[in-house]
Amino acid sequence: MNNNHSKNIKINKKSSKEGVCNPDEHKKWNRRSFLQALGLVGGGSMMLGNTNLTVSRPSPLSVALTQAENDNILIICRLGGGNDGFNTIIPVYDYDTYANARPLIRIPPSEFINLEQNEFAMPKPMNKLENLWGDGQMKVAHGVGYEDQTLSHFKGTDIWANTNLLEEDRSGWMGRYFQDLYPDYIFNPPASPPSIQIGSLGNLIFKGPENDFSFAISDPARLEQIIENQTFYDLDMLPDCTYGDRLRFLRESTNVTYNYAEAISEAFNRSTDFGGYLEDDNFARQLRIVARLIKGNLGTKVYMVTLGGFDTHNNQIQRHQNLLNSLSEGISSFYADLQASGWDDKVLTMTISEFGRRFAENGSLGTDHGTAAPMLFFGTALNGNGFIGEHPDLSDLTRGGNVSNTNDFRQLYSTVMKEWLCIDAETVNRALLGEEFESLDLGFNCDGSTNPTVDSDSLTHIVTYNENQTFINITNPETTHVDISLYNIIGQRVATLRNEMLMEGQHVINVNEAANVRLSTGQYVYRIETATEEFSKALLIS
């Protein structure tokens, strides 16, 4: 064990005052700057099996999903850089148009793996997926994108995560879902981590409106020491000032995450390597770790893995084929691994990428940023191979030389949430910013819903902020007795905000004043209890 790490841990335990309080510092730490500072929590990574691992904090997503009646698991496979869909799923039915647009980078018929009555094909570097297709464990959704698609890597990645086509949004479709539905994850965490990202950090998919639900551990030696000694950041003897408040909040958040280190390690060690994965292949290594955690019954429902390098502006032929070979080998080995352990019918994998590539090749033996591209789905639960939706019309291009999308990516998200993760339709619609999408036929469906719908006559509540004050805004449909309690990040009740009859109508509670005690800066959760209902939501005191 590294002695430097031991010394750092001991210093954390013994430190008496870790900062000097400045009476003017609170003026500098407004709510905006505090929220920006919280972004530091999501940095770094944990190492497991020589691969970067990001472990999200306990979140409502995991609570909601672990309570679902099925054991289904979702793998989101991100193809970073913008995958060229035309050389991934080749439009054989209109090959002349395709070949004329790509005279130097086209895939020749001699390199085809034919699909669907020879109307489409995969290139030979994807040959390991041929068995999955033949066994009915692969489907392709054509032309996935959205209207007026951006061609920016950063904005495109964000839109695929936040699903907001109209304005910038720093929350994700899953993050909104679990933050709104289960806000008390901080002091009531599930037994297993809600989601695990491997190979990339900080994707917006897992961010809620107020909280960054991902957290990272960068040093494996530190992780081992935490598991062995159960040594967390010390919360005693912190300075009684704004600096101390911030430091306490960050350490409390970190401590919650460290609770998962042992669960991950135990799940990994409960299983064994299957073998067959490509050696020295980063993508294969990611999937091998995911398989170990699944087979070890970790209980996590959502994983994200990343295969980068798809921004093929030049010399695309070899680069793209190498990437497709890595994808094919990794997915094939992953499902062989799962099938050997009886998990293949419980795991669905879907690919996403920030955009596709332009239909015509450029002058550098590559392709430029484009619009729609196929999404690939893998898993025994697909119950047969096939294609979803219509392929884009190759003769009807935009002025920029791009095809139009034929499937909205949010409809695929909605289908997976409702029919695979078995989340009720109203909750899914809220997570997708109020948009409603009909489910597509991916070969599976859920009977019933896992979450109750919200009664329109129910009490409603939102949190607002103004001039460093925090307010709970309640609309009560009928007069009833309410008990409104405030809890800190470690689950201690710190104040009773109301315990009285609440009249019908609208009410505004100033949390800072109603608490009647000094509230340290940080995150809290309030709980509203009536005779028939119970609600809770996170808020921030700044």
How crowded is the C-beta side of 80, counted as CA atoms within 13 Å?
13
Which residue, among 237, 190, 173, has the nearest Cα to 410 in the 3D structure? 173
Tens of pLDDT, residues 118-141: 899 999 999 999 999 999 999 999
Closest CA to 158 of 49, 226, 146, 116: 146
Q: What are phi and psi of 398, to 5 degrees?
A: -75, 175
**Model confidence at 8: pLDDT above 70:** no
Q: Domain-by-domain residue ranges, the chain?
A: 47-214+281-431, 460-541
Structure confidence at residue 367 as a pLDDT band (50, 70, 90): very high
Mean pLDDT computed over 512-533: 88
Quote the percentage of the chain above a pLDDT of 90: 50
How many residues appear in the chain? 542
Task: Find out whether 108 and 101 touch, Cβ atoms under 8 Å.
Answer: no
Nearby residues of 117 by Cβ (< 8 Å), 6 or more positions away: none
Region 53-65: what's the mean pLDDT? 45
Contact 461, 535 (CB under 8 A): yes
Indicate the fold that domain 460-541 takes in CATH: Immunoglobulin-like (2.60.40)
Looking at residue 392, its pLDDT comes to 97
323 vs 452: CA distance, rounded Å: 43
Q: What are phi and psi of 45, to 5 degrees?
A: -160, 160
Choose among 306, 343, 350, 278: nearest CA to 125: 278
Q: Which two tokens stand for residue 77?
A: 């496979």
Question: For position 190, what pLDDT does the model report?
Answer: 63
Which pLDDT value is given to residue 1?
38
Give the three-class secondary structure for 66: helix
- The one-character DSSP state at 417 is I
pLDDT digits (tens, 9 = 90+) for 171-204: 888 778 766 655 665 555 667 777 777 877 667 8
* Lowest model confidence (mean pLDDT) among 27-31, 240-244, 394-398: 27-31
CA 496 to chain centre: 34
The answer to which of 375-384, 451-460, 531-540 has the lowest mean pLDDT is: 451-460
Question: How is residue 98 written in tokens?
Answer: 């395709």
47-214+281-431, what's its fold? Alkaline Phosphatase, subunit A (3.40.720)
Lowest-confidence segment of 7-21, 153-167, 224-238 by average pLDDT? 7-21
